[in-house]
């Protein structure tokens, strides 16, 4: 019960008791009666004074405590006209002003930190005590392969369908590891924690090292290739010059035809080696992409026709499924068609004989997917696929995927190459967002086939419909 209510009840009881006593004892209206009525009136006035000087200040301070409990730092208490109480009110108002300033300072500081984390190129993921994602910035969302933070908030790392999430889940607490994924992306990931109010709050930092590592790798193998090409060409030039001079000197010698023929074979072999090393050095001289707006379905169809003969000789079925929208993309047709051909050739070589290659385009987002039923790629190999000079082929040079990687980076594309649980190896290329991507199909565009398999990169088993498994 509030103190005001208690005071009113007390005042009512006192006045009622006084009236009853005066009515019972004093039946006549003499001096004593009026004296009693005066005492009652004085008592009433004193109660009013007591309320103003004691009850009201206590009530006012109680209201202030309620404001403090509700964290309403903008309201202030008014003076109540009592010296001691007004001093308490003054102290209280000063305290509320300080709390308001401190709250504004903390709010500004937190807002600044939120903006800083949001704009940071480093991915930040903050976890709660149950290892659920409570907050993350846009960089972390992008690294995970998602589009909005809401898709990840409230989930555990192991629940996310992302190659990076799988690797993050393996990192022990208070450890830092460098992770290389099958899409040539390289990250330095740290799983740490900070202490707040005696509790450890876990968080994850993700730093992209892809650009720096790719530049360092390219600089290194450019230097190696140039040095090898220089030394080989100089050596080959000296050998061929000597062989040709000896061959000319033996031209008039009897029974030297066989020897001169062998020497000519050696010269041609040296020239072949020189051409090989020169072509090998061309991998570091990929020209800048001359981008132009083209229809993706047309480019895919052109490359598909080129590969049909190779697939036919190996009894490989080439299936194509083009989206109806026929999206427009920015690409250098020469470089990109070479990328598609290289991917298709790798898929055919992985299958060897009797298999299927599936080609699919989608419009939202704009993607190109090439899947095959080949031998597949192990998890150990995935991380090394786009490393310079690495190849799983017995006679491979390890430059094909480097060429693909560099061209796709020049086009601003994101990509991945991995074997999924359903046994299909998928090379997925996602084009950068373009407001002009989706356009009505032109009358002379080739009619796309109806999509019979779907890109489902949010599940572990992307679904391919019949009749592709028949």
* Dist CA 414 CA 319 (whole Å): 23
The predicted structure's pLDDT at residue 142: 85
The predicted structure's pLDDT at residue 368: 92
Burial class of residue 286, CB neighbours in 10 A (0-12, 13-18, 19+): middle
132 and 154 Cβ atoms separated by less than 8 Å: yes
* Dist CA 124 CA 141 (whole Å): 9
Give the number of residues written for the chain. 470
Closest by CA position to 424, among listed 455, 402, 401, 393: 455
* Dist CA 312 CA 314 (whole Å): 5
Kindly report the CATH number that applies to the domain delimited by 292-430: 3.30.565.10
* Dist CA 314 CA 228 (whole Å): 36
Give the residues of the chain that fall short of pLDDT 70.
1-8, 10, 17-37, 50-56, 58-59, 62, 64, 68-69, 71-73, 77, 80-82, 84-85, 182-183, 221, 279-285, 383, 387-399, 434-470
CATH 3.30.450.20 corresponds to the domain 120-208 = yes
Closest by CA position to 458, among listed 154, 146, 164, 183: 146
The tens digit of pLDDT for each residue in 165-179 reads: 888 888 888 888 888
């Amino acid at each position: 019960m509030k103190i005001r209510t208690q005071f009113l009840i007390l005042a009512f009881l006192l006045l009622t008791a006084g009236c009853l006593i005066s009515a019972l004892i004093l039946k006549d209206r003499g001096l004593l009666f009026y004296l009693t009525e005066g005492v009652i009136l004085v008592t009433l006035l004193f109660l009013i004074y007591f309320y103003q000087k004691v009850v009201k200040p206590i009530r006012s301070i109680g209201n202030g405590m309620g404001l403090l409990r509700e964290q309403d730092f903008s309201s202030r208490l008014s003076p109540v006209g009592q010296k001691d109480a007004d001093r308490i009110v003054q102290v209280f108002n000063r305290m509320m002003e300080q709390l308001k300033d401190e709250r504004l300072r903390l709010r500004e500081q937190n807002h600044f930190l939120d903006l800083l984390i949001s704009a940071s190129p480093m991915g930040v993921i903050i976890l709660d005590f149950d290892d659920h994602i409570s907050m993350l910035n846009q960089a972390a969302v992008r690294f995970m392969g998602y589009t909005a933070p809401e898709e990840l908030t409230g989930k555990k790392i192991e629940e996310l369908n992302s190659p990076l999430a799988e690797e993050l889940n393996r990192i022990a607490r208070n450890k830092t590891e460098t992770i290389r994924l099958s899409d040539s992306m390289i990250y330095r990931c740290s799983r740490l924690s900070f202490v707040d109010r005696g509790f450890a709050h876990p968080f994850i930092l993700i730093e992209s090292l892809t650009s720096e590592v790719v530049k360092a790798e390219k600089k290194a193998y450019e230097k190696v290739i140039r040095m090898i090409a220089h030394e080989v060409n100089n050596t080959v030039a000296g050998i061929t010059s000597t062989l040709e001079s000896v061959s000319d000197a033996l031209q008039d010698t009897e029974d030297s035809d066989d020897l001169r023929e062998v020497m000519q074979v050696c010269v041609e072999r040296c020239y072949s080696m020189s051409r090989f090393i020169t072509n090998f050095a061309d991998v570091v001289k990929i020209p800048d992409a001359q981008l132009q707006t083209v229809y993706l379905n047309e480019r895919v169809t052109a490359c598909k026709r080129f590969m049909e003969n190779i697939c036919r000789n190996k009894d490989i079925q080439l299936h194509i499924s083009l989206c109806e929208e026929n999206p427009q993309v920015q690409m250098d047709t020469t470089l990109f068609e070479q990328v598609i051909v290289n991917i298709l050739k790798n898929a055919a070589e992985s299958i060897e004989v009797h298999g299927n290659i599936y080609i699919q385009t989608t419009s939202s987002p704009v993607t190109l997917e090439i899947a095959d039923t080949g031998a597949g790629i192990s998890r150990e190999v995935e991380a090394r696929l786009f490393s310079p000079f690495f190849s799983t082929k017995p006679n491979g040079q390890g430059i094909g995927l480097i060429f693909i990687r560099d061209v796709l980076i020049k086009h601003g594309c994101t990509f991945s190459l991995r074997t999924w649980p359903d046994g299909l190896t998928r090379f997925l290329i996602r084009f950068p967002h373009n407001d002009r991507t989706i356009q009505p199909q032109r009358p002379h565009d080739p009619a796309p086939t109806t999509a019979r398999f779907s890109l489902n990169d949010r599940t572990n088993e992307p679904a391919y419909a019949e009749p592709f498994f028949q």
